[in-house]
């Protein structure tokens, strides 16, 4: 039952809102496509292959290319820069040509690792071809941190997807952003049980005290 609140907001009670949500029909096939799109775009090759078998959902890209991309990303995650560069070039030589920033960061990561391993002479020899950039190496030491490494992995993943004419981001986060935006806009004009936790998506018995953001 709807009622008028003191703030002139339209109030939709919990039971009524729950019933309305239950009336919305979402096909399992559509949900499966979203899941597959997320796994493929993020490079979870093994999970995508298993999900394909279990759900019968066909990916929108050859899974063999996802396994190849996953191998590159693992090399980046594990700090195997030489291996990552070699695999990238085998995958598509134009990726590093068209993404000089990624090439620069991969090369410098490799030099920084040599320095930390005490391989100073090898690092200096490696730096001969771009000495001017190497002078800035001291400012690049944070690249060894986990957060910067993950950022580099994300950049490499996006560059490979672009070279394969595939979207760089999965559809699921975009839909969640739309959900949050619409919910927050509706909250300006109506009082209803807001989804406060995207992990559980459970509806609280009381109003959510804040707007979700992504």
Q: Quick one: tokens of 18?
A: 């729950």
Q: Please check the confidence at residue 139 and state whether its pLDDT lies above 80.
A: no
pLDDT score, position 201? 64
Is the separation of the CB atoms in 153 and 77 below 8 Å?
A: yes
Q: How many CA atoms lie within 13 A of 13 on its CB side?
A: 6
Residue 204, SS3 per DSSP: coil
Q: What is the pLDDT of residues 11-48, one digit of tens each?
A: 877 778 778 777 878 888 998 999 999 999 999 999 99
pLDDT score, position 211? 47
Confidence of residue 198 (pLDDT cuts 50, 70, 90): low
Residue 118, SS3 per DSSP: coil
Is the separation of the CB atoms in 154 and 72 below 8 Å?
A: no
Name which of 89, 49, 93, 94 is nearest 72 in CA terms.
89
Lowest mean per-residue pLDDT among 114-123, 140-149, 160-169? 140-149
The rounded distance, in Å, linking the Cα atoms of 211 and 146 is 30
pLDDT score, position 51? 96
Q: For residue 41, how many other CB atoms are within 10 A of its CB? A: 25
Q: For residue 101, how many other CB atoms are within 10 A of its CB? A: 11
Query: Dihedral sign, CA of 171, 214, 15, 189?
Result: negative
More confident residue, 103 or 153: 153
Highest mean pLDDT among 49-63, 111-125, 174-188 belongs to 49-63
Helices and strands, counts by H and E, the chain:
11, 3
What integer best gives the mean pLDDT of the chain?
78
Q: Provide the strand spans (E) within the chain.
A: 2-4, 10-12, 190-191
Residue 2, SS3 per DSSP: strand
Q: Please check the confidence at residue 138 and state whether its pLDDT lies above 60.
A: no
In terms of DSSP H, where are the helices of 43-99? 45-55, 63-77, 81-91, 94-98
Lowest mean per-residue pLDDT among 62-76, 154-168, 192-206? 192-206
């Amino acid at each position: 039952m709807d009622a008028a609140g003191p703030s002139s907001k339209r109030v939709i009670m919990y039971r009524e809102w729950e019933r309305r949500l239950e009336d919305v029909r979402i096909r399992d096939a559509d949900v499966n496509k979203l899941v597959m799109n997320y796994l493929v775009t993020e490079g979870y090759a093994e999970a995508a292959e298993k999900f394909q078998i279990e759900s019968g959902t066909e990916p929108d890209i050859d899974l063999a290319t996802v396994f190849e991309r996953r191998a590159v990303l693992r090399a980046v995650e594990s700090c195997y820069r030489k291996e990552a560069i070699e695999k990238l070039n085998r995958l598509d030589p134009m990726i590093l040509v068209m993404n000089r920033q990624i090439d620069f960061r991969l090369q410098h990561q490799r030099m920084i690792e040599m320095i930390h391993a005490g391989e100073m002479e090898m690092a200096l020899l490696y730096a001969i071809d771009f000495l001017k950039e190497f002078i800035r190496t001291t400012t690049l030491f944070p690249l060894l941190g986990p957060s910067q490494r993950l950022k580099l992995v994300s950049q490499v993943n996006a560059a490979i997807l672009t070279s394969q004419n595939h979207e760089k981001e999965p559809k699921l986060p975009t839909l969640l952003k739309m959900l949050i935006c619409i919910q927050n806009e509706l909250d300006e004009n109506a009082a209803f049980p807001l989804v406060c936790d995207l992990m559980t998506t459970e509806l609280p018995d009381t109003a959510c005290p804040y707007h979700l953001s992504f």
